[in-house]
Structure 1
Amino acid sequence: MQTQSIAAKTGMGTVELAVTDANRALRFYRDYVGLRPLPSDGPELRLGAAGRELVVLQPGVEHP
């Protein structure tokens, strides 16, 4: 197997996820992943760490 690498400064932006159960998703990312809720102006739930937004949960999806 060949090993590949990426540049050290490569990063990832905010991840947006459509969720069927916003409260369950919030509990997972807060309680197990350790992210903290951030202010939001709409129905979406924003979570992050060290003041940086990492995940946006978009509620209201009927099924994946």
Structure 2
Amino acid sequence: MSPERLYALPVIGLVLLAILQVGYGQVMAPSPAPPPSSNGTVIDQGIAYILLGVALAITYLVH
């Protein structure tokens, strides 16, 4: 197994851990105001992030 693959797994794990911690911070924070209503921009942004991740993965695999 190449050294790049050995280093990639811990880095991916740390990134996922950081993302999970951000999610916990949002859930535990008290919110006095009601959550804002979505007008579709959140869905569009989510799709854009997914497409960006797919493009990054394809670029990594092709390279």
Does TM-score exceed 0.5, indicating one fold?
A: no
Larger radius of gyration: 2
User: Greater RCO between the two (CA within 8 Å, min separation 6)?
Assistant: 1
TM-score (norm 2): 0.23
TM-score (norm 1): 0.23
Q: Which has the higher helix share?
A: 2
Q: Which has the higher strand share?
A: 1
